[in-house]
Structure 1
Amino acid sequence: MRFLLPLTLAAYGLAACAPAPQALQVPTLEVQSVRLTRLSLPGGLGGAPVADLKLKLRVNNANVIALKMSNISATLVIDGAPVGQADFPRVNVPARGSADQEADVSLPVTLSTAASFLKVARGQQVTYRLDGTFTADFGPLGLKNFGPFTLSQGQWKQAPVIPF
């Protein structure tokens, strides 16, 4: 019995020296590429005007457990003006790894957003931002919602898709 107290105190002392478990880190999203593939402008006779984009995202996971991301929803902002909402498919990301996700997105073109898309279509450089939210499933640790915050931002310039 006399040895029990010192052993208990030693066990508590060793436990206090052990590193604390790290908190979950927020997965990060990076836009690897964004490309305007088609643009139809308001006022045409051929249906609703749209801007078709191809986005490639990279999701980085610094955590020691794999995660499944879903409900990735973002507002695309060009030169400070919101131009549309984009939703992305689910993506599975390995522990301490990354995964790429491609998405084809069609955004409606309005009179207020046509100028932004026209700049891109002409090959002019613009700034962009994806502001949004997502849900990460950390398996046994459960679901965690993140956002709203800026998911990714950068500059966008591509070869012209219209000749004027």
Structure 2
Amino acid sequence: MKKLLLAPLLALGLGACAPAQPLVQVPTFEVQSVRLTRLNLPSGKDPALANLTLRLRVQNPNPVPVRLANIAGRFVIDGQEVGTVNLPNVSLPARGETEQRADLSLPVTLQTAGAFLRVARGQEVSYRVDGTFTADLGVLGRPTFGPFTLVQGVWRQPAILPF
């Protein structure tokens, strides 16, 4: 009888020694869409600009709501940094998600013009957003996590330029 009780107790004891899941899990980021909406050539004193819309889905795997005070990143196309992304005050429900939209107006330089033209012509380019996020933990403070690659992928959309 003692042997029959000892086996389950031993299993419970060893199970307690197994590594547990972390208390807080990092939110995940996923691009829903990235779209070049306008490409302006330089005109007089106005510089060349690319306007785009980036939609991100941010998911919270935690059983409690989380507020991100800021998501800050560098937008990179074909290895060239083209601008920054800042999303303040992102509230995430417990085990839920939210979609965030960033409307960006980015300068077009000699180094980035080719990539923007390829997108405008409907051709593929690679992209990524490298950055950090700051969690608002109330009395526990505002720790910043990163830098790391938040999202990456291949960007291709229907052409917006006829040539």
TM class, shorter-chain normalised?
Answer: 0.7 to 0.9
Q: 1:21 to 1:77 in 2, by over 3 A?
A: closer
Q: Give the letter for the 1:56 counterpart.
A: R
Determine whether 1:122 maps to 2:121. Answer: yes
Q: Give the letter for the 1:39 counterpart.
A: L
CA contact (8 A) 1:89 1:103 kept: no
Give the SS at the match of 1:69.
Answer: strand
Cα deviation for residue 139 of structure 1 reads 4.4
Q: 2: CA distance between counterparts of 1:117 and 1:38?
A: 10
Q: What residue is the counterpart of 1:95 in the other structure?
A: 94
Cα deviation for residue 70 of structure 1 reads 2.5
Q: What residue is the counterpart of 2:26 in the other structure?
A: 26
Q: How does 1:61-100 map to 2 (within 5 A)?
A: 61-100=60-99
CA contact (8 A) 1:30 1:59 kept: yes
Cα deviation for residue 18 of structure 1 reads 10
CA contact (8 A) 1:76 1:131 kept: yes
Q: 2: CA distance between counterparts of 1:126 and 1:104?
A: 19
Q: What residue is the counterpart of 1:41 in the other structure?
A: 41
CA contact (8 A) 1:55 1:104 kept: yes
Cα deviation for residue 68 of structure 1 reads 1.0
| TM-score w.r.t. length of structure 2 | 0.82
Give the SS at the match of 2:105.
Answer: strand
Q: Deviations over 1:121-156 (max 9, x none)?
A: 111011110001111124465422111000001111
Cα deviation for residue 31 of structure 1 reads 0.9
Give the SS at the match of 1:90.
Answer: strand
Q: Give the letter for the 1:49 counterpart.
A: A
Q: Which moved more, 1:100-109 or 1:135-144?
A: 135-144
Cα deviation for residue 59 of structure 1 reads 0.5
Q: 2: CA distance between counterparts of 1:157 and 1:58?
A: 19
Instruction: Work out the number of aligned pairs and report it.
Output: 150
Q: Percent identical across equivalent pairs? A: 55
Q: What residue is the counterpart of 1:146 in the other structure?
A: 145
Q: Which runs of 5+ in 2 are unaligned?
A: 1-12
Q: Give the letter for the 1:126 counterpart.
A: V
Q: What residue is the counterpart of 1:137 in the other structure?
A: 136
Q: What residue is the counterpart of 2:55 in the other structure?
A: 56
Q: 1: CA distance between counterparts of 2:122 and 2:56?
A: 21
Cα deviation for residue 21 of structure 1 reads 7.5
Q: 2: CA distance between counterparts of 1:102 and 1:163?
A: 27
CA contact (8 A) 1:36 1:54 kept: yes
Cα deviation for residue 71 of structure 1 reads 2.2
Q: Deviations over 1:42-80 (max 9, x none)?
A: 4x3371211111111100111111111122111111112
Q: 2: CA distance between counterparts of 1:82 and 1:159?
A: 23
Give the SS at the match of 1:119.
Answer: helix
